[in-house]
Structures are given as structure tokens and as C-alpha cells.
């Protein structure tokens, strides 16, 4: 055996391993080796190729960034045109679509559709000849686009050659190139750090990154791909369905959306749309709707096309998440901790499915960075349940004579001085509990569901209680009488009596809820829970110095300092004493063992479906046993607790092979660890 052949074999083996790991990572989302191992194989291959350049082939994984920059993009004519999609914005439009198709196909029964998220990136056509990537082109006008092969080759999710050997002689694949949200955020951070221009959204970032003349720039951008169709195919029967073809693409190493599913009938389409809509924020990438395609390819042929869109497909779009509107005023709100937050009052606009008339501007740094002014036309974004925000100003529409927004020197509520520390973005009212706004916010927090959970004590009522001077501190709440409350606006005897009852019920609480309810800076539920577990008694928390506080998991120097400062204030000590006098009580215990020794330490649970108790209760119990309770199922989840009507999370658990418990199963498991 000659040395060369052994070398060639070694190079081939390395390339095959690299390609296989890349497939596990990008297509199956199931990496088999750590990144360091992949990097090692890659470096080994690079070293061999540097030593023996004659062994380099264009489809070697080391050759993703090929030659230097281009002067311009060539034009590519698409052998099969790249079409666009009709949109449906309502359920009605969707059922009209389904009815039209059933009439055209003369079908009494239901139609099976392949459903996939509509990705928000840009369309690409990849051409493989004899299994090797030879060309990548943008959609352009649908008939011809730009040759971006040099850039697409740098995208790690795009195989330079197909896996297996049963592929068509020519395979054109259509898909969407996009930038995941996280990659987009870090790209913008990098751009900002370098003083370069930032991108408005992941779609623009993907487009800007792909249309680079220098592939080295594209190579640094976190682009990826999902395939959703095919173009020209030579010498291969493929399958009878869209979903079957997508499975084939996946088998050949091309990434396909893991959300692809076949749904039968219009109700199932609506179910899929709702499910994805609910999960939209948890996906790693932006989507703007769902694409439904008739799954049967024979039916697709029968249905055909109208102008530039197929009759057999439709995009059911989510309501737009960004709209333009005008800033009518900028006001400042004072929060519980005194943070003075600028808020834009907007000309009402329908965005993300609701009418929005206020949007947060976060803090003065943001106002200055975005240079938002009264009179400006701005992009407002409302994604999911997130608070609406002003994304940026449309400078072309700025009227004449606008003024930059300035931070008020005095608190708009109590007139105390507003302070802005040098390295802090947040400005604060220095009035503390003298400031009615801070008092109100502190009380709202104290009464909220996850704190003392005082039913019927809503925001409006708290505003009145503070404005009339009936209540100043949380302890005052417990001195309220039916008579005093009944005298307030929109309050009858009955609701006053209910409130006094609710206050009475709230007296019986837990140490962790109580600590959380105090609204100490940076002490959220998790920290309050750790403190309660660590110290067991309120007096033990009060007696702890900063070093002792820092022994608590979750409590670092900053939180320890906030705690210490809070408990040091005579005013706060006084309120605590009054609360105890008002008989707010909770079970106390000796300091508990380290959380690592708790039975569910290191275990992650997800709760889904309807349980016989509230999810919060079950969550609290599990956390008490050391478990982490999260919102979404992944490979790291240990148990999914499924109540009735469990939906996608249950399906995901089954798909990933995560253990699923019903309520009885959970009770058994708790009993088991309890006796262990």
C-alpha cells in the first residue's frame, strides 16, 4: 500500500466524520460529540491539507470560505421559477381557502396539509449536481436571482455534498436562509461595539449578510437554513407527498424544520396555527405565520398556479408585530424602587393583535441612543406578551423644531430630586416611601398574586387608599375596617367586607412569600425562596450580616447589600414589627440543609395541561424539594407532569423520550423520595 493512498484514506475518513457530526448538529439537532472534538477533527484535516495541498477538494469542509471578494453578483436564471405565496390574515380566509380547494378537487372529505412555520429570512435555491453543491441563488424576481454560491458555502448548515448515495443527478432545493434571534442580538452587539451600523431585525441582518461581496464577512454571520421545497429534479422519482420529499431531503443531510407536521382538515390547521402562535416566543428564530401546503403532490399538480403563487399553498400570517405611529408625548413613571421610566404616549395603533397607546422607552440611555422626540414617527413593536416598545425613529418623517427629551430634575409624583448615578442607566426618585408613586407600587407588589395574594386589592383601590391617606405602609392594610373601605368610591359594604376577609386570609402565608412581598431590590421569588430555605426564620434573616447572607444560593454581594440596607432602615424595621403585630404569620423552621441534599436537586420538571391544583402550588411544592421548574421541554427536562388537555409539551416530551407523569405518578414519586 502506498503512503499516498493511506493519506487519502485518512483525509476521506476525517471529512466523513466532520460531515456526520455536522449533520447530527444541524439537521438532527442532536450533536454526538462536544464542539471541542469537532474542532479537533477540523484542525487535523486542515493540518493534513496544508501539508498536502494536492489533496484539497472544493467540497472539503475546510473550503467553505473559498476565493476572495467578488466584484459583483452574476445573474442566475431559475430552471423552475421561485414562487411566492398568497396570504390569509383571518380564520375566515383560511376556511375559504380550504373550501376552494375541496371544490376544485371535487373532494367530499378533508384535505391533508403539510404545515411549517413561515420563516422570516430570505428564499434561496440550492443546486446539487451528483450530490455536490454547485450553485446557490437568491429568489430575485422569481425568474432570475443573484448567484450567492460563495456566501452560501460559508453557512455551516448547508451541506457542501449530500449524504448517502441515492440522490437525484440534479437536485434543486428551496429553503429559507435566516438568522436565529440570539445570533442576531450578538451580531448587533458586536456591530455596536465596533461603531458599525446595527440591523433593524433578523431578516434584514440575514439579507445584509448574504449580499456581501466578501464571503469572509458572511462566514462570520450566524446564518442558518431550513429547506421547504424542491425545484428541478433530474433522474429521481422522489415521493408522492411534500412531507415525504422533505423527509428525503433530511435523509440527504439537508436541514428541514423540526416543526413540519401533516395536519388533516381545516380545524387541525387552526390547531397547529394556535399552537405555534403560543410557542412563537420560545422558538430560536423569528417566524411570521404558518405555511400550509396540500401534502399530495398529485393534488398540487391538479390545483396548479394562479399568476405567481400556487393554488395549493397559503401563508396564514400572524398579526404584524411592528407598526408605525406618532409619539404624542413622553412622560415619566415612577416604579416601586423609585426607577423613573420614560414612557411614550402614542397615537393608538393596532399592533401584535391589540391596540397600543403607550410604549416603554426603558431608560434615558435608550431615549438618547434612539433619539426619540415628541412628534416623531416611530416603529412600535409588540411581540407576544412583551410590553410594547419603541424600536426606532423614522427620521425622514421628523417634523421641524423638535427637542430632545430631557430627564426631569424633580420626581413628577412627589417633587423629590431625581438622581442618575454615573454608571447606571436608570434614574431614580430619591423620595423613597415619601413618594406616593413608590408607596403605591410597593403596596401593589405586596398584594400581588405571588406575594401575599390579597384578593380584591387591585391597582385602582390601592391608588385610592394611598390618595385618601388611609394606607401608607403594608401594615396599615391590616388595620382597615369595613366602614373605612366602604366609604371609598365604587366600594359597597359587600366588597369592603370581602376585602377585609381577604386580608384576613392573607395573614396566613409563608416566609418566602413574605420576603418576596417586601419588594427588596433584586429579591425575586427564587431569591426569597432560597433565603427562606436557608434561614428558616425571619429573625435569622434579620440577624444575618452580608457575609452570612451570601451563604445563600442565589445571593451575591449586590443582593446581600440590598437586603442588609433594607433591614437596617428604622422605617422598614418598624413596618416589619407592625406586620408581625398585625398577626401576619408563617410556619418557621430550623435552617434547612443545603439544597444539593434535597431529593429533587438537579432535576428539571415541566408542568403542562390542567392539574387539579394550580400550577403555582405544584411548582412551589416541587421547588421546595429542590427541583427546577421550567416552561419548555428539552432534552434536559427530567419529568413532564401532564394534566388533562396537555398539548404540544406532552408531544415534545414523547418525541424526546422524556419521562411523563400524570398527577398520581407525581404524587407517587414525591411519596417515594419523601420516604427515601
Instruction: Report residue 483 CA to chain centroid gap.
Output: 48
Element (H, E) at 290: strand 287-294
Residues 471, 575 contacting (CB under 8 angstroms): no
Residues that bind ligand IVH (CB under 6 A): 83-85, 116, 118-119, 123, 139, 176, 228-229, 291, 310, 313, 315
Q: Which is nearer to ligand IVH, 85 or 170 (CB)?
A: 85
Residue 242: CB minimum distance to ligand IVH, A: 10
User: What is the smallest separation between the CB atom of 35 and ligand IVH, expressed in angstroms?
Assistant: 29
121/215 with CB nearer ligand IVH: 121
Bridge partners (DSSP) listed for residue 135: 127
Residue with smaller CB distance to ligand IVH, 145 or 595:
145
Q: Which is nearer to ligand IVH, 315 or 651 (CB)?
A: 315
Residue closer to ligand IVH, measured from CB, 148 or 606: 148
Nearest approach, Cβ of 354 to ligand IVH (angstroms)? 25
Q: How far is the CB of 312 from ligand IVH (least distance, A)?
A: 8
Query: Among residues 315 and 486, whose Cβ is nearest to ligand IVH?
Result: 315
- Sequence-ordered list of residues with C-beta below 8 angstroms from that of 501, at least 6 positions apart, any chain: none
| Least distance from ligand IVH to the Cβ atom of residue 121, Å | 7
Query: Nearer to ligand IVH by C-beta: 118 or 370?
Result: 118
Q: Of 253 and 310, which has the nearer Cβ to ligand IVH? A: 310
Active site residue 118: yes
Residues whose CB falls within 8 Å of the CB of residue 478, separated by 6 or more in sequence, listed in order: 503, 507, 579, 582, 583, 584
SS3 177: strand
Work out how close the CB of 108 gets to ligand IVH at its nearest, in angstroms, rounded to a whole number: 26
| Buried b or exposed e, range 228-258, using 16+ CB within 10 angstroms | bbbbebeeeeeeebbbebbebbbebbbbbbe
- Contact by Cβ (8 Å): 127, 134: yes
CA distances from 140 to 152, 211, 306, 433, 618 (A): 15, 12, 19, 61, 53
The DSSP code for 318 is: P
Q: Is-contact 343 359, C-beta < 8 A?
A: yes
User: For 460, phi and psi rounded to 5 degrees?
Assistant: -60, -40
The answer to whether the CB of 434 falls within 8 A of the CB of 357 is no
Own/partner contacts of 597-602, CB < 8 Å, gap of 24 or more, are 598/625, 598/626, 599/625, 599/626, 599/673, 599/674, 599/676, 600/625, 600/626, 600/627, 600/673, 601/626, 601/627, 602/626
204 or 495: whose CB is closer to ligand IVH?
A: 204
Coil/strand/helix, residue 547: helix
Cell, residue 57: 477538494
Using only the alpha carbons of the chain, give its radius of gyration.
30
Rounded CA separation 338/427 (Å): 8
- Closest contact distance (angstroms) between CB of 161 and ligand IVH is 24
Residue of 118, 317, 370, 649 marked catalytic: 118
**What's the rounded Cα separation, in Å, for the pair 375 and 624?**
52
In the chain, how many H helices and how many E strands?
A: 25, 24
Q: Rounded to an integer, what distance in angstroms lies between the CA atom of residue 354 and that of residue 352?
A: 6
CB of 153 to ligand IVH, least distance (A): 20
Q: Identify which of 63, 66, 62, 68 has the alpha carbon closest to the alpha carbon of residue 214.
A: 68
Cα–Cα distance measured from residue 647 to residue 650, given in angstroms and rounded to the nearest whole number:
6
Distance CA 437, CA 441 (A): 6
In the complex, residue closest to ligand IVH by CB: 123
At its nearest, how many Å lie between ligand IVH and the CB of residue 84?
A: 4
Q: Of 118 and 444, which has the nearer Cβ to ligand IVH?
A: 118
Beta-bridge partners for 310: 305
SS3 237: coil
Residues in Cβ contact with 428 at an 8 Å cutoff, skipping those fewer than 6 apart: 337, 338, 339, 340, 418, 419, 420
Q: How far apart are CA 425 and CA 155, in angstroms?
A: 37
Nearer to ligand IVH, 254 or 291 (CB): 291
Phi first, then psi: give them for residue 91, nearest 5 degrees: -60, -35
DSSP state for residue 73 in the 8-state scheme: P
C-alpha torsion sign, points 79, 80, 81, 83:
negative
Q: How far is the CB of 226 from ligand IVH (least distance, A)?
A: 7
Q: What's the closest the beta carbon of residue 313 comes to ligand IVH, in angstroms?
A: 5
Query: Which residues have a catalytic role annotated?
Result: 118
Amino acid at each position: 500500500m502506498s503512503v499516498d493512498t493511506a493519506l487519502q484514506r485518512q483525509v476521506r475518513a476525517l471529512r466523513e466524520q466532520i460531515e456526520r457530526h455536522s449533520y447530527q448538529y444541524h439537521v438532527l439537532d442532536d450533536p454526538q460529540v462536544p464542539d471541542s472534538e469537532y474542532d479537533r477533527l477540523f484542525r487535523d484535516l486542515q493540518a493534513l491539507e496544508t501539508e498536502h495541498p494536492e489533496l484539497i477538494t472544493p467540497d472539503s469542509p475546510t473550503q467553505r470560505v473559498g476565493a476572495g471578494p467578488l466584484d459583483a453578483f452574476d445573474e442566475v436564471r431559475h430552471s423552475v421559477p421561485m414562487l411566492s405565496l398568497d396570504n390569509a390574515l383571518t380564520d375566515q380566509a383560511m376556511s375559504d381557502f380550504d373550501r376552494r380547494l375541496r371544490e376544485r378537487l371535487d373532494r367530499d372529505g378533508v384535505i391533508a396539509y403539510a404545515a411549517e412555520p413561515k420563516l422570516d429570512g430570505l428564499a434561496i435555491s440550492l443546486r446539487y449536481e451528483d450530490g455536490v453543491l454547485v450553485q446557490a441563488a437568491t429568489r430575485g424576481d422569481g425568474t432570475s436571482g443573484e448567484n450567492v454560491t460563495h456566501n452560501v458555502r460559508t453557512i455551516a448548515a448547508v451541506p457542501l455534498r449530500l449524504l448517502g448515495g441515492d440522490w437525484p443527478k440534479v437536485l434543486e432545493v428551496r429553503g429559507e436562509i435566516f438568522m436565529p434571534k440570539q445570533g442576531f442580538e450578538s451580531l448587533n452587539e458586536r456591530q455596536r461595539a465596533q461603531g458599525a451600523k446595527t440591523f433593524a431585525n433578523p431578516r434584514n441582518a440575514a439579507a445584509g449578510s448574504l449580499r456581501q461581496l466578501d464571503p469572509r464577512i458572511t462566514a462570520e454571520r450566524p446564518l442558518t437554513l431550513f429547506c421547504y421545497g424542491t425545484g428541478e429534479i433530474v433522474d429521481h422519482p422522489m415521493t408522492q407527498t411534500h412531507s415525504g420529499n422533505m423527509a428525503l431531503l433530511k435523509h440527504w443531510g439537508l436541514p428541514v424544520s423540526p416543526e413540519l407536521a401533516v395536519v388533516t382538515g381545516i380545524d387541525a390547521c387552526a390547531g397547529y396555527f394556535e399552537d405555534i402562535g403560543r410557542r412563537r416566543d420560545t422558538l430560536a428564530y423569528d417566524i411570521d405565520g404558518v405555511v400550509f401546503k396540500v401534502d399530495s403532490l398529485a393534488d398540487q399538480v391538479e390545483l396548479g398556479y394562479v399568476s405567481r403563487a400556487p393554488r395549493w399553498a397559503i401563508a396564514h400570517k400572524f398579526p404584524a408585530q411592528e407598526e408605525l405611529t406618532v409619539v404624542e408625548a413622553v412622560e415619566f413613571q415612577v416604579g416601586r424602587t423609585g426607577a423613573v421610566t420614560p414612557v411614550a404616549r402614542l397615537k393608538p395603533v393596532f399592533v401584535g393583535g391589540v391596540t397600543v397607546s403607550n410604549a416603554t422607552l426603558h431608560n434615558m440611555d435608550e431615549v438618547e441612543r434612539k433619539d426619540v422626540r415628541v412628534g416623531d414617527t416611530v416603529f412600535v413593536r409588540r411581540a407576544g406578551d412583551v410590553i410594547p416598545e419603541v424600536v426606532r425613529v423614522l427620521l425622514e418623517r421628523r417634523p421641524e423644531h423638535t427637542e430632545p427629551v430631557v430627564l426631569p430634575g424633580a420626581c413628577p409624583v412627589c417633587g423629590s430630586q431625581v438622581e442618575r448615578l454615573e454608571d447606571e442607566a436608570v434614574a431614580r426618585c430619591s423620595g423613597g416611601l415619601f413618594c406616593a408613586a413608590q408607596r403605591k407600587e410597593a403596596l401593589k407588589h405586596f398584594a400581588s398574586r405571588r406575594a401575599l395574594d390579597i384578593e380584591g386589592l387591585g391597582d385602582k383601590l390601592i391608588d385610592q387608599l394611598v390618595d385618601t391617606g388611609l394606607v401608607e405602609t403594608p401594615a396599615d392594610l391590616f388595620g382597615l375596617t369595613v366602614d373605612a373601605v366602604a366609604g371609598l368610591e365604587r366600594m359597597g359594604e359587600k366588597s369592603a367586607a370581602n376585602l377585609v376577609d381577604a386580608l384576613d386570609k392573607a395573614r396566613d402565608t409563608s416566609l418566602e412569600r413574605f420576603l418576596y412581598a417586601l419588594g427588596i431590590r433584586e429579591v425575586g421569588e427564587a431569591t426569597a425562596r432560597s433565603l427562606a430555605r436557608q434561614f428558616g426564620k425571619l429573625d435569622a434573616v434579620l440577624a444575618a450580616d452580608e457575609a452570612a447572607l451570601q451563604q445563600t444560593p442565589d445571593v451575591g454581594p449586590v443582593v446581600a447589600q440590598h437586603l442588609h440596607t433594607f433591614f437596617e432602615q428604622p422605617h422598614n424595621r418598624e413596618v416589619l414589627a407592625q406586620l408581625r403585630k398585625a398577626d401576619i404569620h408563617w410556619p418557621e423552621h430550623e435552617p434547612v440543609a443545603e439544597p444539593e441534599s434535597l431529593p429533587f436537586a438537579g432535576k428539571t420538571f415541566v408542568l403542562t395541561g390542567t392539574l387539579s391544583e394550580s400550577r403555582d402550588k405544584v411548582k412551589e411544592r416541587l421547588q421546595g424539594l429542590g427541583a427546577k421548574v421550567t416552561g419548555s421541554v428539552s432534552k434536559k427536562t427530567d419529568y413532564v407532569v401532564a394534566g388533562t388537555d396537555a398539548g404540544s409539551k406532552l408531544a415534545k416530551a414523547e418525541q424526546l423520550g422524556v419521562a411523563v407523569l400524570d398527577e398520581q405518578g407525581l404524587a407517587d414519586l414525591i411519596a417515594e423520595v419523601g420516604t427515601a
